[in-house]
Amino acid sequence: MLLLPVVGVLAQSRFAHLNSQNIISEMREYKVATATLADMQKKYQDELNRTKEDFNKKYQEYLAQAEGLPRNIAERRQKELQDLAQRQEQFQQEAYESLQKAREEALAPILQKVNDAIKAVGEAEGYIYIFDLSSTPIPYIGSESEDITDKVKALLGI
């Protein structure tokens, strides 16, 4: 007798699932953001390549002249090469951090828009839980769970 109310509640429960990454990858905003980020990454990579080539050129010049240089000039050039290498490493770290920050800033409104759409579909359809398969591995999904990917896409205009 005590189990009847629980069984009744479970029978009325509605569960849904989707894969938000599939939705996000089809969004126009995501495509624009990834193109912008790819362009930014290319610019950083080009600059890194330029500084690497500059370092390699100076290093080769140093190697070619090292034996004939007085000790204090050789030490000065070694220090110059070390400084170049450190600046290059620092720039590489800064570039990585800048790209990460730009990625987070570009994706935050997209993720928020998708989450808002998922919430709106969930509330409108009366779901108790909506599982995102891209972030929560679920080994089994029963036929009672509804795939709401198309509903969320429709709400987003995809």
Average pLDDT of the residues of the chain: 91
Q: What is the pLDDT of residues 40-79, one digit of tens each?
A: 999 999 999 999 999 999 999 999 998 899 999 999 999 9
Which residues, 6+ apart, have CB-to-CB distance to 16 below 8 Å? Answer: 121, 122, 125, 127, 129, 130, 131, 145, 146, 147, 148
Q: Is the dihedral of CA 139, 144, 150, 155 positive or negative?
A: negative
**Average pLDDT of 93-112?**
98
Q: Where are the domains of the chain?
A: 3-156
The pLDDT of residue 137 is: 85
Which CATH topology does 3-156 take? Protein Binding, DinI Protein; Chain A (3.30.910)
**E strand residue ranges, the chain:** 15-18, 129-132, 146-147
Q: pLDDT tens across 8-20, in order?
A: 444 466 999 999 9
Residues 6+ apart with CB under 8 A from 37: 99, 102, 103, 106
In total, the chain counts a number of residues equal to 158
* pLDDT on residue 12: 61
Sole residue written with tokens 């220090």:
79
Q: How confident is residue 1, by pLDDT bands cut at 50, 70 and 90?
A: very low
The letter for the amino acid at 52 is K
- Residue 97 CA to residue 63 CA, distance in Å, equals 34
pLDDT of residue 155 exceeding 80: yes
Alpha-carbon span 130 to 117, nearest angstrom: 12
Q: Is 24 exposed, middle or buried (0-12, 13-18, 19+ CB in 10 A)?
A: buried
- Give the span between the Cα atoms of 105 and 51, in whole angstroms: 28
